[in-house]
Amino acid sequence: MKIASFIAVAATATLMATAATAGTLDDVKAKGFIQCGVTTGLAGFAAPDNAGKWVGFDVDICRAMAAAIFADPEKVKYTPTTAKERFTALQSGEIDVLARNTTWTFSRDVNLGFEFAGVNYYDGQGFMVKKSLGVKSALELSGARVCVQSGTTTELNLADYFTANGMKYDSVVFDSADEVREAYLKDTCDVYTTDQSGLYAQRSVIANPEEHVVLPEVISKEPLGPLVRHGDNQWGDITRWTLNAMINAEEYNITSANVDDLKANSKDPNIQRILGVSGDLGQQMGLSNDWAYNIVKMVGNYGESFARNLGEGTALNIARGLNAQWNKGGILYAPPLR
């Protein structure tokens, strides 16, 4: 990633020039909306619907933040950003938060001067094959022709994985995801590899999705999450706990449907704390105490957002997998709200 290191240098230079500013929350409250960086279009994560409204899993993070701050999820303005300019946009203050399926890595966190608020989607590189091949595991793929997109970390991960397992492969390299898919469909290669969320998205485009299977192996870690600038801890906290509140709400089975009932009747101290019936968690962050109630009421909990944008029943049809709650076989584990 030459561009990343280039931006890193430039961003560091800027950081030195301009002292970290505080008070994003005040700025946001003053202007009356959150400026949120999203992708220019990624199925399930962020895309404009027929009416031109941005919808998606990442978009829900921004909507949840707006619900927490303004009690109105519509008070968000979206800036479509490309992979190359997303970090500059955040660095320069053009956007307040970047929710754009961005992998949390050391260099982005430390070197670029960002603060990742958590992980809203655990992604990882996987393999898709045709069911007719009868392959059940990636370890059976020795000698396979693998279609891969050029110039991505995907290519390197692929080489590492096959070398580590002592297997041979031929890589068939293409420039764009669409080309890779067409090549895979035309049997130019046996295996299609990219991030699993990408595999599901590509599979949803194929005429007979049920004839293709995504293998269980995940060969790289791609934790995706929203991020903000270094140096404004209050704003970072709001982003982090907005995400955590959504995850916690799912863990305690608080949904947009039953949240009013639970707020009025629940005796569970955890639920009371989350919904602001007891304690002053919201005020400690500079928000109102019903911030998490508003998130769940207006946007929904993590599971609802997942089901609406990515889950079974949508065209993407992604299983929860790693993204299930920690007590349901996944690794989604949010710190408690107390």
Partner 1 sequence: MAIVKTERHADMPPPVTQTGVIGWMRENLFSSPLNIILTLVSIYVAWAAISSIVSYAFINANFAGETRADCTGSGACWVFIKARFGQIMYGFYPVEERWRVDVGVILAAIGLFLILSDVVKEKKWPAAYMFVFVPIACFFLFSGGYFGLETVETSQWGGLFLTLVLASVSIFVALPLGIVLALGRRSTMPVVRMLCVGFIELIRGVPLITVLFMASVMLPLFLPEGVNFDKLLRALVGMSLFSAAYMAEVVRGGLQAIGKGQTEAASSLGLGYWQSMGLIVLPQALKISIPSIVNTFIGLFKDTTLVLIIGLLDLLSIVKAGTTDKEWVGMATEGYVFVAAVFWVFCFSMSRYSVWLENKLHTGHKR
Tell which positions 61-80 bind partner 1, by CB under 8 A. 77, 79-80
Nearest to partner 1 of 82, 165 (CB atom) = 82
Residue 331 in the binding site for partner 1 (CB under 8 A)? no
Q: Which of 143, 232, 156, 155 is nearest to 189 (CA)?
A: 143
For the CB of residue 154, give the shortest distance to partner 1 in the complex, in Å: 19
Question: What CA–CA distance (Å, rounded) separates 209 from 328?
Answer: 27
> By CB under 8 A, which span of 82-90, 151-159, 212-220, 272-280 interacts with partner 1?
82-90
CB contact set of 85 (below 8 Å; sequence gap of 6+): none
Binding residue for partner 1, selected from 60, 67, 75, 81, defined by CB under 8 A: 81
On the CB side of 47, CA atoms within 13 Å amount to: 10
Binding residue for partner 1, selected from 40, 163, 233, 258, defined by CB under 8 A: 40
Q: What are the distances in angstroms from CA 209 to CA 70, 131, 185, 199, 215?
A: 41, 10, 11, 11, 14
Residue 101 in the binding site for partner 1 (CB under 8 A)? no
CB contact set of 142 (below 8 Å; sequence gap of 6+): 167, 168, 169
Specify the amino acid at residue 186: K
Nearest to partner 1 of 178, 280 (CB atom) = 178
Question: What CA–CA distance (Å, rounded) separates 289 from 285?
Answer: 9
Nearest to partner 1 of 47, 117 (CB atom) = 47
Q: Quick check: 257 and 313 in contact, CB under 8 A?
A: no
Tell which positions 252-311 bind partner 1, by CB under 8 A. 309
> By CB under 8 A, which span of 65-73, 216-224, 274-282, 312-320 interacts with partner 1?
312-320
For the CB of residue 210, give the shortest distance to partner 1 in the complex, in Å: 15
For the CB of residue 267, give the shortest distance to partner 1 in the complex, in Å: 39
The alpha-helical segments, DSSP class H, found in the chain are 2-17, 24-31, 57-70, 86-91, 106, 153-164, 177-185, 196-205, 233-251, 259-265, 269-274, 281-284, 291-298, 302-309
Residue 89 in the binding site for partner 1 (CB under 8 A)? yes
Binding residue for partner 1, selected from 23, 32, 93, 143, defined by CB under 8 A: 93
Classified as helix, coil or strand, 229 is: strand
Binding site for partner 1 (CB under 8 A): 7, 10-11, 13-14, 17-18, 21, 40-44, 47-52, 55-56, 77, 79-82, 84-85, 88-89, 91-94, 178, 201, 204-206, 309, 314-316
